[in-house]
Amino acid sequence: MDSVDLEVLKNSARWLEEGHRVLLVTVVKTWGSSPRPEGAMLAVRDDGHVVGSVSGGCIEDDLIDRVRQRGIEQTKPEAVKYGISAEEAHRFGLPCGGTIQLVLEPLTMESGISELCAAVESGRLVARTLDMATGAARLEPAQATDGVLFDDAHLLTIHGPRYRMLVIGAGQLSRYLCSIAVGLDYQVTVCDPREEYTEEWNVPGTTIVRTMPDDTVMEMKLDERCAVIALTHDPKLDDLALMEALKTPAFYVGALGSRRNNAARRERLKEFDLSEAELARLHGPVGIYIGSRTPPEIAVSILAEVTAAKNGVSLPELLQVEGAKAAREVAGKGEVCGI
């Protein structure tokens, strides 16, 4: 499944090749609450067909109506704002008086969209810089980070391969977790050398490999867009993955298990010459505390924590499994003692 952004770019390139005019719309800045983040994109074809989104739907409707009534007349990019007044915010469905700034870019074959698609599909991370005065765009290698920079004269957007997730173990929990992860647009690889598990693996949109976990981690060359989750409960497999993954820039490395098992795991990992800083990156027990018991609930708990890490959100201790269970135990003892 294509990422949302790549879907917008690929459709834009195809429409241009078919002879259509195309307006590429990019969210460049938001104030207050807004339905879509900076960098979100929408492509509007000259007949009103669209792909992607920049709001909850009302701004899209306004842009579609504008194109259907006037066509795509502009020849240079322009910046527009929606939701400046309370009335406009209500009209365009922006919650809490939010404001959104968009760049409307009329695409041509010289916009480099086909080249950008090819670069992204080949696994490269690319920075695209748009000159607002001329409409010219250039592509350059980028660092492994998301970002949008707009200074009225230039728009810089980062495009690249979607986030990757390596899951160790092909058990029942992994099936639920991987199904949801695919829906979250991760490129999911499942590693399990045990034939009894991999023979029945059939989760659409995932890749199954039967190599040893440490070899798999090294072969994948994990970067800042990668998450690793060890779910086998087998130290011979989980530890192999973790000892290599914790040395990489992966934004999330976690392991399933009780607090006692994770404490024992940390002690084992020390024997692999991992530093205290590297060990501190390990999420375990994995997930946030929502009282989950079934495999689907546990999968939701884990992916909630992964999503927070991906978005740079620091979770309070009481939301983390270890902190929440410790607090619950303290509260329970207090009740017994009459405190």
Q: Please give the model's pTM, rounded to 2 decimal places.
A: 0.67
- Tell me which range, 177-181, 201-205, 320-324, 335-339, is most confidently predicted by mean pLDDT: 177-181
pLDDT of amino acid 6: 83
Backbone phi, psi, residue 226, to 5°: -120, 145
Are 23 and 104 in a shared domain?
yes
Looking at residue 130, its amino acid is L
Q: For position 313, which CATH number holds? A: 3.40.50.720
Q: pLDDT band at residue 310, thresholds of 50, 70 and 90? A: very high
Instruction: Look at residue 33 in the predicted model and tell me its pLDDT.
Output: 63
Q: Are 105 and 236 found together in one domain?
A: no
Range scoring the smallest mean pLDDT among 68-72, 158-162, 248-252: 158-162
3-class DSSP assignment, residue 105: strand
Would you state the pLDDT for residue 339? 26
What percent of the chain is modeled with pLDDT above 90?
58
Query: Is 311 within the bounds of a domain?
Result: yes
Angstrom distance (rounded) from CA 220 to CA 286: 22
Q: Phi-psi bin for 83: left (phi > 0), alpha (psi -120 to 50), beta?
A: left
- Dump pLDDT digits (tens) for 56-78: 778 888 899 999 999 998 899 99
State the chain's mean pLDDT as an integer: 87
Q: How many CB atoms lie within 10 A of CB 79?
A: 15
User: Is the confidence at residue 259, as pLDDT, over 70?
Assistant: yes
Strands across the sheet containing 99-107: 50-52, 41-45, 22-31, 99-107, 78-82
Rounded Cα–Cα distance for residues 245 and 243 (Å): 6
What was the pLDDT predicted at 337? 32
Residue 177's region, left for phi above 0, alpha for psi from -120 to 50, else beta, is: alpha
Q: Which residue has the higher pLDDT, 146 or 306?
A: 306
Classify residue 333: in a domain, yes or no: no
Most confident of 152-161, 183-192, 297-306: 297-306
Span 266-278, average pLDDT: 88
Q: In this predicted structure, what is the pLDDT of residue 322?
A: 64
Same-domain status, 172 and 270: yes
- Please check whether residues 34 and 181 belong to one and the same domain: no
Could you list the residue range(s) of the whole structural domain that residue 114 is in? Answer: 4-123
Q: C-alpha 221: how far from its chain's center?
A: 18
Same domain, 103 and 26: yes
Closest alpha carbon to 137 in 160, 119, 154, 158: 154
Q: What is the mean pLDDT of residues 302-322?
A: 83
Q: Identify the domain boundary among 62, 95, 123.
A: 123
| 79 lies in some domain | yes
Structural domains of the chain, count: 2
What sections of 137-245 are H helices per DSSP? 172-183, 195-198, 213-220, 235-245
How far separated are the first and last CA of the chain, in Å rounded?
55
Res 272: pLDDT: 83
Domain limit, last residue, from 90, 123, 156? 123
- What's residue 93's pLDDT? 58
Is residue 335 predicted with pLDDT exceeding 50? no
- Burial zone of 78 (CB within 10 Å; 0-12 exposed, 13-18 middle, 19+ buried): exposed
Examine the domain organization and report whether 301 and 209 are in the same domain: yes
Long-range pairs for 144-151: beta carbons < 8 A, 24 or more residues apart: 144/223, 144/224, 144/225, 144/249, 145/224, 146/39, 147/39, 148/26, 148/27, 148/28, 148/29, 148/38, 148/39, 150/28, 150/29, 150/79, 150/101, 150/103
Q: Are 192 and 275 in the same domain?
A: yes
Residue 92 included in any domain: yes
Q: Are 111 and 204 within one domain?
A: no
What is the rounded average pLDDT of the residues 217-240? Answer: 93
The HSE-up count of residue 261 (CA atoms within 13 Å, CB side) is 17
Q: At 102, list the tokens.
A: 């968009």
Predicted confidence (pLDDT) at residue 320 exceeds the cutoff of 60: yes
Listed residue (134, 133, 128) closest to 149, CA to CA = 128
pLDDT in tens, 134-149: 999 999 998 756 679 9
Average pLDDT over residues 165-186: 94
In a domain, 195, yes or no: yes
Q: What is the pLDDT of residue 146?
A: 62
Are residues 173 and 119 part of one domain?
no
202 pLDDT above the threshold of 80? yes
Sequence-distant (≥ 6) Cβ neighbours of residue 234 within 8 angstroms: 169
Percentage of residues in the chain with pLDDT exceeding 70?
A: 86
Q: Would you mind telling me the total number of residues written for the chain in this entry?
A: 339
The pLDDT of residue 324 is above 80: no
Residue 131 lies in a domain: no
Average pLDDT over residues 128-135: 95
For residues 175 and 108, membership in a common domain is answered with no
In a domain, 241, yes or no: yes
Helix or strand holding residue 227 (H, E): strand 226-230
